[in-house]
Structure formats: structure tokens, C-alpha cells
Structure 1
Amino acid sequence: MKISVELFGVAREFSKTKYLEFNFSKSCKIIDIKKKLYEHVDNKFNGNLNYKEIIKSSAFCSDKDQVIKENQILNKNQIIGIIPPIGGG
């Protein structure tokens, strides 16, 4: 199963492309995708703690713009988005 993670906001710094793809042998949950993102940051950015904090505090949404909870099971190829918190003033 392939999950494509669209990168929004500051999460776009995670890749030169607008998304990352991860393969899973069976169903997964958002917590599993977060683990893959942490591994990506460890491998590509020497474990950048700021990037890990972004992953930790981000929301994830479906291609239908619905928030996906951490324990929701994903069981088909799909595109989800990582939505980092936005600061403003």
C-alpha cells in the first residue's frame, strides 16, 4: 500500500518535491506515517529537532479535506496532507 504525504507550509522543507511517498505492507495509522516521517528527518536532516517538532504538532487530512485522527486506519493507496501549525500576528 502506498501513502503519499502532501507537504504544506513549513513541511515543504522536508523534500524538494511537494510530497513524500511511503510504502506499507498492510494497513497503517497516522502514527505509523509519523514514524516514517521521523525516519526521513533522521536520514535526510540529521534528526533536525525542529522538523520533528513540526511532525509532532501537525494535523493530517484526507484528500477530501477531513482531519484524520492518529488511530484511524488507512487501508488503501491514498494521498494525505500534513498541515503544520501556522503562526501569525
Structure 2
Amino acid sequence: MSVPTDPALPRWQFDLTWALVEYHLDRLDPADFLDGLTEVDLARPSAYPWPGDAGLTVAHLVAWVNVELMKNAAEIGQLRLLRAAGG
């Protein structure tokens, strides 16, 4: 697979982006925002990012956010690997 290279996007930008992701992930402490949630809080309905009548809860929202963060970090890592392999 050929990796398109954009001459307007310097290599250091990828390295900086990954460094920032690692920095924030290292400092992300779920206890900072999850410890304040009780079982009652987690059972409350959540209308984001789903329709209000979807029947999903704050616990679903927390799980979704976790998956999104992991997916985004994986995508950045994949782009970093592709960039490194492409030159």
C-alpha cells in the first residue's frame, strides 16, 4: 500500500501529535471524574450521543467515551506507523 505524503505536513507534526496524545493519556485518571458517580448517576438516562428515547444510560456514555478515546489513540498510532514506514 502506498502511503501518500503531504509535503505541507512535516514529519515533526506527527511526532508532536503522538507525544501530546501520550502526555494526556498518561495523566488521564478515571478516578478524577468517575469516583464522583454513584450507581444512581450511572443509571440515569443519557441522550448523548444517542436519541433521548434510545433507553441508554450514563454508564453507556462512559463506555462509549472510553471506546472513542481508545479508537482515536489507535488511529493516531496507525498513522504514525504508516508515516514512519513511508519514509
TM range (shorter): under 0.3
Structure with more of its chain in strand, by fraction: 1
Q: RCO (CA 8 Å, sep 6+): is it higher in 1 or 2?
A: 1
TM-score after normalising by structure 2: 0.25
TM-score after normalising by structure 1: 0.25
